[in-house]
Every structure is written in structure tokens, then in C-alpha cells.
Amino acid sequence: MLNRYARGFFTRLFTPLARLLLRWGVTPDAVTIAGTVGVAGAALVFYPIGQLFWGTVVITLFVFSDVVDGIMARMKGSGGPWGSFLDSTLDRIADGALFAAVAIWFFTGGHNPAIAIAALACLVLGMIVSYARAKAESLGFTANVGVAERAERLVSVLVVTGLTGLGLPQGFLLAVLVVLALASLVTVYQRVRAVRRQSLEAPSPS
């Protein structure tokens, strides 16, 4: 949902930057890699020491690279299977670092194991959500359904984690992570059901 409504706005916002980077000879792949390193690095540096707000600010800046590299690829006409593969693979690294970093802080200095466990649940279930779609597509099915797309998960956890760093009661972060975990679980079910239905409808090999 966020992808549909926000794509046009952010495309217009970042098109001048994308054009400038291309003029400087920067490739879309370089932006993708730099963005992933930035997100993972900021999460693993700031969150484990309790800097939830400033960590979120830095992470958010690098998250926008995911928009910029797509604009650059379309401008350059270099989009395709390789770009999609690289982007999806590095997204898993960024997401894993983000949720792992939240868990590290709340297992240690944050003293809230419930939040840490919920963050780990989001990490694992988020990976399964992505894997289910990738595996389905590798078998010739489609599984782009579900209530917990990556954009929704990312925006939710970043906003509430940042606000927690400013004094928002930790219960709000716990609630958001639990909802995200449950939504991811529902999404896994929806994708399995979609593939199962397609497999039953597919003609049997003669």
C-alpha cells in the first residue's frame, strides 16, 4: 500500500539527485550497495548503544537509496533480473541488521526481553515472507499478496523505534512489533494459500 501511494511522490523528489549521480558516473548498483551498508552499519552501531532516535535518522537517510537506485536504473535503462536480484538480496541484509540491532539493545541495555523477542520474531517471519514470494516465482507462480509488505514493516518499526528514543513508552514499540510479527505470519499464510491454489489450477503435465 505504501509502495503504491508513495512511489510517485518520492520519484519526483529524488529524480534530480538520481540524474546528478548518473552524471557523476555513479551506477545504480553502487547506490544499492552503499545504501545497504549504510542501513546495516547505522543500525548495528547506533541501536545497540541505545541511540534509537539518531540511529533511526541515519538509517532513514540511507533507506531512501532504495528509491534512488530504482530511478537511476530506469533512467539508464539498466534495470532487469540482475538489479532485481541484487536489490532483493541486499534488502534482506538491511532488514536483518535492523531487527537484530533492536533485539541486541533490548536484550542488553534496554532491559526489555519482550521487545527483543518480538523483534527477532519480526526478523524471522519477514525473511519467510520474502522467501515465500521468491520461491513461488522461481516455480512459475505469483505470491505478491499479503498484508505485511516490506515498506509497511520498515516504516512502522523505524518510526516507532525513533519515537521510543525520544521518550515514547516502550509498550508502543512492543505493540507495533507484535502486530508486525502477526501480520507477517498472516502474509506467509496468504502466500502459501495463493501458491497452493495456483498449483491446483495448473494443468497437469501430459
**Residues noted as catalytic:** 91
Q: Specify the residue for cell string 510517485.
A: 8
Nearest in space to 173 (alpha carbons), one of 181, 182, 164: 164
CA-based nearest residue to 181, from 109, 102, 111: 102
CA–CA distance from 163 to each of 16, 101, 118, 120, 141 (Å)?
Answer: 30, 16, 18, 20, 40
DSSP state, residue 80: S
DSSP string, 2-70: HHHHHHHHHHHHHHHHHHHHHHTT--HHHHHHHHHHHHHHHHHHHGGGT-HHHHHHHHHHHHTHHHHHH
72/28 Cα distance (integer angstroms): 6
